[in-house]
Amino acid sequence: MRSENLSPDALADDWRNGGFGLYIHWPFCESKCPYCDFNSHVVSFVDQAAWLEAYLSEIDRLGALTQGRILTSVFFGGGTPSLMPPETIAAILTRVRRTWASVNDLEITLEANPGSVESGRFRAFSDGGINRISMGVQALNDEDLRRLGRLHSVADARRAFDIARNTFSRVSFDLIYARQSQTLADWRSELTEALSMAVDHLSLYQLTIEPNTAFGDRYARGGLRGLPDDNTSADMYQLTQELCEAHGMPAYEVSNHARPGSESRHNQVYWRYGDYLGIGPGAHMRLTLGSERRAIACWSAPGKWLAKSKHGDTWSENAQLDRSEQAVEFLLMGLRLTDGIDPARFEQINGAPLRHEDVDHLVAIGMVTASPTRIAATAQGRMVLNSVIAALLPP
């Protein structure tokens, strides 16, 4: 039966349940990692003045569409945004603060590599307004860093981490596991070391072989040997949960762990299905305008995006999402969180509740927990989350 409580005002305000964030994409890197399928590019020259002008003009344009909103987070991603000049970041943040009101403790994150160039700028980034660093460490083993195409060493990573810890109140770093020739014992040792370093947040990702990457091509030719089998990868995932929990950094999302209160607010905007703006080549948005929720994507090619920015024409896609599409996205994002979703909010978005028989079946086999106010995947369910979500998706 369709829900009767589907006023346009309720749908127009649904994004408030997740908040309002701004993502800024810097598309340039010093080198392209073989596992990376992000929109990143290696170039010999960047016209810094032109890029700053483009970012500022986009902030003005999007600000005009979203006046009255309160910003909860800003995230500089890439690419390698720590290669941006600190004065560029400071100018962007000055314009952001003039454009939107923000919460008192606005989270402003910068992704950074542990190279000497980037870490040498940490104090300037802090002075410019960055208050959280997310470092792409990826491995605490020099041989594996080489295999992953990283330009830094473990010593570089430790040095950069020490600088970050002494400069920013909030520091996160990423590690990739289930790497070539990595054993369960190897991962236990490496993760234990990472937890001894961690300030308040860790992102721990299983290596995935994506198409149209160097690793994807190599894997297709049978050349990427020594990857753990599915059982070993599952054991590594389980070990990750146990060790992080024991060190006071439980999972709050499938791949993210934090001390209570230190969860990434920006990523929670995505997972809690709030509204977010995206500026830069290939950036995506979910933006509620009136009672319509729109899926917007920017041109991916840096040169094309930069040229289009001069005319306020940076969007390659702009489509309205119907209620069923929104409901699917809400499930896909929300069930990644350890605390799950509010079923009443799903019903409001979808126009009909989750099917009770599907929820009851998943509860019976230990995949989810359910109450009138919360449905969440169990630890067992998060290991097979795609199957759990598939079982709940509307027909």
The residues spanned by each domain of the chain are 17-270, 323-395
If one looks up domain 323-395 in CATH, what number appears? 1.10.10.920
Q: pTM to 2 decimals?
A: 0.94
What is the pLDDT, as a whole number, of residue 1? 35
Whole-number pLDDT of residue 6 = 52
- Can you give the pLDDT at residue 2? 41
Model confidence at 311: pLDDT above 50: yes
Average pLDDT for residues 2-10, to the nearest whole number? 54
Q: How confident is the model at residue 297 (pLDDT cuts 50, 70, 90)?
A: very high
| pLDDT tens digits, 239-284 | 999 999 999 999 999 999 999 999 999 999 999 999 999 999 999 9
What whole-number percentage of the chain has pLDDT above 70?
97
**Both structure tokens of 246:** 């024991």
Contact status, residue 75 vs residue 21, Cβ threshold 8 Å: yes
pLDDT for 3: 43
pLDDT in tens, 23-36: 999 999 888 787 77
Q: Each residue of 366-375: pLDDT tens digit? A: 999 999 999 9
Please choose, from the candidates 134, 129, 39, the residue with its C-alpha nearest in 3D space to the C-alpha of residue 90.
Answer: 129
Mean pLDDT (the chain, rounded): 93
Dist. CA 122–CA 101, nearest whole Å? 26
pLDDT of residue 9: 66
Question: If you average pLDDT over residues 107-129, what whole number do you get?
Answer: 92
What b/e sequence results for 160-185 when a residue is b if at least 16 CB atoms lie within 10 Å of its CB, and e otherwise?
bbebbbebbebbbbbbbbbbeebeee
Q: What is the pLDDT of residues 154-186, one digit of tens each?
A: 999 999 999 999 999 999 999 999 999 999 999
Query: What pLDDT was estimated at residue 10?
Result: 72
Confidence band (pLDDT; 50, 70, 90) for 219? low
Q: How far apart are CA 194 and CA 268, in angstroms?
A: 23
Q: How many CA atoms lie within 13 A of 265 on its CB side?
A: 21
User: May I ask the CATH architecture of the domain 17-270?
Assistant: Alpha-Beta Barrel (3.20)
